[in-house]
Chains A and B, each alone.
Chain A
């Protein structure tokens, strides 16, 4: 279990994490979302004792990270794919970490095989691709078979098979009762992986709720309509609360009215309807809607 209480981290005048509090329960995957610079990585570094909080605290299984006597048995973390010396081999990196906890060589081999690194374990890390380095980071995190896992952008650089593997791994770890805390900017992955979401914006928590609750309340009714009489039906549906967005000659999207009402109206004017599909808000849409005001680094328009 990870618990933060009034956690604050400032760098000079800038406050990266601003008095956040949360509790992550075992047995579920908690997704950690937020725009760039929102404070996600800082929070994870604070959890691992790499940075010192300016105020408040964050504990893992009731203690600050540094107070655990066998920290690799308590927490496994992938904070930075490049957190290893490029001159070592993957196996050397794991054996060095294992030596601190007297973890047997057999376990090192086990995590190497588990992460699919067997064929490159004796190669220097500098020759690894980003995906291989991510796998090595995951192997290091799993070395002590910990009950708490912290993954910061673990799927960056992974191929589709790797992404799927991480998704399944994360789900399985949570199913075994472990606490899994994962950040990612890939909303489609987060939607498939997380049970619960914490969303940060400018260092503050702007949402802390189950995934389902996060998506549905933020969404509004949308219906995709495909009809031979698009113009006529759009004219018939036009109203103060209804927004109609034309997609092509036969297709439009209606907001603010449900599919049954559209079907009834189409019948009244004799329009031939080929499709009436209720559209649900995606995690990405809900997320963008929620964090719109918290984005620090906004992209320019497309040329």
Chain B
């Protein structure tokens, strides 16, 4: 459809052929450009969602905050290592475990980063509703399932890229540090790599939960507060229950299914405790937590008025 071509006999209205004003409507409708527009596809919707994420300052502020958390953690790790290991000589296995411990400590900061990324994921969808941009977004991509999936994937991709960058920073700081103090972890064995990959997966899966809450609640404040409550109210409530029931076995059992507990059990890998759930099951249950919020969020998103 080229605008230069008349579609039907024109109207006889007096303004129909009038001269263009300053912002010329003459060129408005008759562009003369080879528009070359194509159909909406998942890949194109994904690209648009990626552009949205990278165009928002808030996302970069949250990413900077995550970087600051990691930098602080690494700084603390470097200084504490200097005091703890300066005059210590460790045997092979001990040295390797100490080296792994350095990474474990640094990766512990991902708990806080998960909060930031959950907020980022929630805001990615709630801001569409609060700003009204959902209307132009759905005008461009009216298939809501495609829109939802593209946005979720873009958010997860953004968070994955950021997490990867933070992991890389950890390795760039901690590997030379471990080498300097002769506590190099075994790079040829899976422990370190599992810890790295599973920690990244935990950040992404937990942030997806924030996205689901955003889709469900459509309110930034509501989604972020609920996200924090979901993450933190579990351990607090279970702690109270343990105190009230004198550590009843059913409370102990319940505690294994709480989000933070699942994160720990999933990232433990071969270092799992005997009481832990199997690692694949812990991962599957983490995914189930995300699905528990994402699926109703998706269903509501596809059915509600925009």
Which A residues fall within an 8 A CB radius of B?
Answer: 26-29, 45, 48-52, 65-66, 68-73, 75, 77, 79-80, 82-89, 92-93, 95-97, 99-104, 106-107, 110, 113-116, 135, 140, 142, 144-147, 161-162, 164-165, 167-169, 171-178, 192-193, 195
- Say whether B44 contacts A100, CB under 8 Å: yes
Q: Tell which of A45, A51, A97, A178 touches B140, judged by Cβ atoms closer than 8 Å.
A: A97
A85-B131 contact in complex given A99-B51, A173-B29, C-beta closer than 8 Å? yes
Known A27-B10, A71-B140, A72-B37; contact A161-B22, beta-carbon cutoff 8 A: yes
A277 to B127, CA, bound (A): 58
Determine if A70 and B39 form an interchain contact, defined as CB atoms under 8 angstroms apart: yes
Given A101-B37, A171-B16: A83 and B133 interface contact (C-beta under 8 Å): yes
The winner among B22, B55, B58, B144 for most chain A CB atoms within 10 A is B55
Contact B139 A72 (CB under 8 A): yes
Q: For B1, list chain A residues within 8 Å (CB).
A: 73, 145-147
Contact indicator B56/A169 (Cβ below 8 Å): no
CB distance from A121 to the nearest CB of B (A): 13
0 or 1 for each of B2-45: is its CB under 8 Å from A? (1 = yes) = 11011111110111111011111111111101111111100011
B168 contacts the other chain (CB 8 A): no
Docked complex Cα distance between A51 and B306 (Å): 6
Cα distance A135–B14 when bound, in Å?
Answer: 23
Chain A residues closer than 8 Å to B29, beta-carbon distance: 142, 169, 172-173, 176, 178
Q: How large is the interface on B (under 10, 10 to 19, 20 to 34, 35 or more residues)?
A: 35 or more
* Nearest CB of chain B from residue A168's CB, rounded to whole Å: 5
Measured between beta carbons, the chain B residues less than 8 angstroms from A51 are: 305-306
A110 CB contact (under 8 Å) in B14, B18, B31, B57: B31
Chain B min CB distance to A170 (Å): 8
Asked whether, in the complex, the Cβ of B44 is within 8 Å of the Cβ of A88, the reply is no
User: B275 interface residue, CB < 8 Å from A?
Assistant: no
Query: What's the dominant secondary structure at chain B's contact region?
Result: loop
| Cα distance, A164 to B39, chains bound together (Å) | 34
In contact, B3 and A145 (Cβ under 8 angstroms): yes
Of B2, B7, B138, which one neighbours A27 at CB under 8 angstroms? Answer: B7
Which chain A residue shows the least CB distance to B17?
A: A175
Q: How far is the CA of A27 from the CA of B6 in the complex (A)?
A: 9
CA distance A110 to B14 in the complex (A): 26
A84 near B8: Cβ-Cβ < 8 Å? no
Q: Pick the residue among A27, A79, A87 that contacts B8 (CB under 8 A).
A: A27
Q: Does the CB pair A84–B132 fall under 8 Å?
A: yes
B residues contacting A by CB (< 8 A) are 1-3, 5-11, 13-18, 20-31, 33-40, 44-45, 47-48, 51-52, 55-58, 127-128, 131-136, 138-144, 303, 305-306
Given A65-B142, A195-B13, A70 and B133 touching (CB < 8 A)? Answer: no
Q: What would 7 A/B residue contacts be, using CB atoms closer than 8 Å? A: A65-B142, A72-B139, A83-B136, A107-B33, A115-B23, A162-B23, A178-B7
Shortest distance between the CB of B137 and any CB in chain A (Å)? 8
Residue pair B132, A171 in contact (C-beta under 8 Å): no
Bound-state Cα–Cα, A301 to B296, Å: 50
Contact between A145 and B15 (Cβ–Cβ < 8 Å)?
no
A141 closest partner in B (C-beta): B139
Name, among A107, A145, A195, the residue most crowded by chain B CB atoms within 10 Å (CB to CB). Answer: A145
A171 to B15, Cβ gap below 8 A? yes
Cβ–Cβ contact A172 & B135, under 8 A: no
Of chain B, the residue at the smallest CB distance from A139 is B28
Judging by beta carbons under 8 Å apart, are B36 and A80 in contact? no
In the bound assembly, the distance between CA atoms of A50 and B301 in angstroms comes to 11
A168 touches B25 (CB 8 A): yes
- Cβ contact within 8 Å between B138 and A100: no
Bound together, the chains give a CA A174 to CA B25 distance in angstroms of 12
Give the distance in Å from the alpha carbon of A245 to the alpha carbon of B91 in the complex.
111
**With A140-B136, A168-B21 given, is the CB distance from A96 to B51 under 8 Å?**
yes
A177 contacts B23, C-beta separation under 8 Å: no
Give the residues in chain B near A92, CB-CB below 8 Å.
51, 55
Given contacts A87-B58, A99-B51, contact A172 B140 (CB under 8 A): no
Could you tell me if B6 and A177 are in contact, using CB atoms closer than 8 angstroms?
yes
State in angstroms the CA–CA spacing of A249 and B24 once bound together.
48
Q: How far is the CB of B250 from chain A (nearest CB, A)?
A: 43
Q: Are A172 and B26 in contact (CB under 8 A)?
A: yes
Task: Please determine whether A101 and B38 come into contact, CB atoms closer than 8 angstroms.
Answer: yes
A153 to chain B, nearest CB (A): 14
Cα–Cα, bound, A129→B18 (Å): 27
Contact B136 A165 (CB under 8 A): no
Additional A-B contact list (15), CB under 8 Å, known A27-B10, A145-B31, A176-B10: A49-B142, A51-B305, A101-B40, A102-B44, A110-B27, A114-B24, A116-B22, A135-B23, A165-B22, A174-B10, A175-B6, A176-B5, A176-B6, A177-B9, A192-B15
Q: How far is A146 from B7 in the complex, measured between Cα atoms in Å?
A: 11
Complex Cα–Cα for A75 and B138 (A): 12
In the complex, the answer to whether A107 meets B51 with C-beta atoms within 8 Å is: no
Find out whether the CB atom of A96 lies under 8 angstroms from the CB atom of B55.
yes
